A and B are shown apart, each in its own frame.
Chain A
Amino acid sequence: MSSTELYPANEALSRNERIVLNTYIVSTLAIFILMMLFGLMMRMAQGTWLNVPLDRFYQLLTVHGAGMVGNVGLASSAVMWFFLRKYVRLSLAIFATNYILFILGVLAILAAIFIGRYAGAWTFLYPLPVHAMGVWSPHAAALFMLGYLLIGVGFLLFYLDVMLALIRVYGNLGRALGLQWLLGGEIDKDHPKTVVASTMVAITNSIGTLAGAVALVMCLINIYFPTVVLNALLVKNLTYLFGHMFINASIYMGVISVYELLPRYSGRPYPISRPFLWSWAASLVMILTVYPHHLMMDYAMPMWMLIMGQIVSYCAGLPVFTVTVFGALTNVYRSGMRWPLTARLLMLSMFGWAAGIIPAIIDGTIGVNRVMHNTQWVPGHFHFYLLLGVLPMILAWMFHLVNSRAKGTDPAFAKLGFPVYLVGGLIFVFAFLDAGHHSVARRYAVHLPEWLPSDHAGSIGAMLVVAGMLLLAARIIIGLLKAPDHAGPAHAGR
């Protein structure tokens, strides 16, 4: 059961753990801000407010996608590691190895893009990496893929360590997931939600990462042995199985922060329940089977897979709406909760996730996808639940951590950062959604004149997001430098 004690003793960090975790936090914050700046540059270039050469634009597009997806994965894995180590014994060396491999991968990707001029988008959709029309070399594409492989190996090691640790304590992954209580029996109320979520993520994202590795190795072989021609549809299936799984795993790792922290700020226990276990077991199956919703416009796909993509997209909303978000709202309702920044960010994350998946689920309808696919509707919905959902989950955890070292007070500049980030985020995502509503294509360096108003609105939103993020990140970095201390009460009941 989640504790309502604000800073339980079993979350204390050793010196080495603190060093590794601080490295994760500082690095991921820096990468988030840099990638946001790249995103802002792209929106301003589309709106003709900034002159960015075409090749540079598509390089930014590639690095922004790869950087954000990888970084949100890294940051949310830190959330998972921090809380899960209370229940199982995780290896600090492997956690650190994941970071080192990630940074090596990032260096390879940056070199491929900014030295090798690779601009094949983060999805590296076969056969684009080898059809560069002279813009980048096959070696640049290979270096980009090698960077992905390094990152993938790091995550796989991390997940294998997680699974091993879970099996040591719970006997097998099914018991860690709580499958023994699905159909009956008395649920152990002390079984941690973090364990359930971590088990699901470790299983699914290992499969997703392996699918990505298979696609990458196949593409690497094709680069150096062009006579080995690949099936484009098969590679696309593997790529989106990996891509969908990886980014969704980040949400499921990030939400651990809500499960762990919300009851501490509301002062109300947030126990495990049978609907919770069902929702995670179902999510495990759904996350593996929903990815065909990315291929609805590939008419060569088997019909049953496209139907499955639509139906599972609908079903995937059920655990969010009826369990996690509903549970969070009932936990807060009449709880006597105060609203330090951590609590605000936790609630924002629930709103961003719940609201953001609405346009996503609608787009998972084949008939809608036919007119919305690859318009700006798509970045509209995924920015909604990433920028206003997952990132606030991660930031909430970081604020919680640093407040333990800074007497629990939120300085004025950080308090200002929250509304700036929120308002900017809403403007930013609705500019995308409105553009998608008007059929504005995504991933275009040059926009038609009639598309510019939404680009301008999006640019203004992005500026505010960057400003808000800078204020919030500054608070976290400054807080990390302070010595550990006890925090003040989080809710009125204490």
Chain B
Amino acid sequence: MNIQDEVWSITLIGVGVVALVFVWVISQSGKSPASERQQTTASSIRRWWFLVLVVAGIGIAYATLKPFPIANQSANLQGAQIVAVVGHQWYWELSPSPTQVKAGIPVEFDVTSDDVNHGFAIYGPDDRIVTQTQAMPGYTNRLLHTFTRPGKYRVLCLEYCGLAHHNMLAEFEVVDIATGEQP
């Protein structure tokens, strides 16, 4: 299961639970008035609910921020393979070109823009995004990624950049480290 599937499942479960709670409360709304005791119970539930959310939030934040998911921008990234990326209205310039990188070895994408903001998004062979960063004029964002799956990858622009925004496509290959070839 990739991260998109996990996010989708969590969202469906979360929205479903919220919907069920609402349906239940609405179904109870016509019944005889809640007693003082039931109101006190609600306060108690709220305290526990608050505590659960805080504990869950701290745990999830820790788990998702350590290690920090974005490469240190000022340190030497130790990238064995470096690809320079420049966004233009409306095409990508990848160097070296044609671009071919090896799976299993980190790739450092140095991403910038020649004109306006672009979004440098890498789509995998299954047409799902594997990673992305912004291409901003005056800045170079250093994206470090290790590809695990050989194949043809596409680059799409994910920051609206004008009338041919949707046409900003580029491709590169990830080859198997052992054979040096695409599957």
Contacts and interface: CB of A to CB of B under 8 A. Distances in A.
A336 interface: yes
B170 interface: no
B69 interface: yes
A82 interface: no
Given A366-B69, A444-B166, A125 B138 contact: no
A121 B89 contact: no
B165 A362 contact: no
B76 to A, nearest CB: 15
Interface string A335-374: 1110100000001001100110011001101111011111
Interface string A419-450: 00000000000000110011101111110001
A430 B99 CA distance: 37
Nearest to A130: B116
B139 A233 contact: yes
Contacts of A15: none
A421 to B, nearest CB: 16
Given A128-B162, A236-B117, A297-B119, A317 B133 contact: no
B4 A439 contact: yes
A492 interface: yes
Contacts of A268: 33
Nearest to A230: B138
Contact of A297 (B68, B134, B156): B134
B28 A300 contact: no
Interface in A460-479: none
Interface in A275-312: 275, 297-300, 303, 306-307, 310-311
Given A128-B117, A370-B132, A444-B165, A351 B33 contact: no
Contacts of B133: 297-299
19 contacts: A58-B163, A133-B162, A236-B117, A275-B46, A297-B119, A297-B134, A298-B139, A299-B70, A299-B73, A299-B134, A315-B57, A317-B57, A322-B50, A334-B34, A351-B18, A355-B18, A368-B7, A368-B64, A372-B4
Given A125-B117, A310-B61, 6 more contacts: A121-B160, A127-B137, A351-B19, A438-B127, A444-B166, A446-B166
Interface of B: 3-5, 7-8, 10-11, 14-15, 18-19, 21-22, 25-26, 28-34, 38-39, 42, 46, 49-50, 53-54, 57, 60-61, 64-65, 68-71, 73, 89, 115-117, 119, 121, 123, 127-134, 136-143, 156-167
Interface of A: 54-55, 58, 61, 119-121, 123, 125, 127-128, 131-133, 135, 231-233, 236, 266, 268, 275, 297-300, 303, 306-307, 310-311, 314-315, 317-318, 321-322, 326, 329-330, 332-337, 339, 347, 350-351, 354-355, 358-359, 362-363, 365-368, 370-375, 377, 433-434, 437-439, 441-446, 450, 492-493
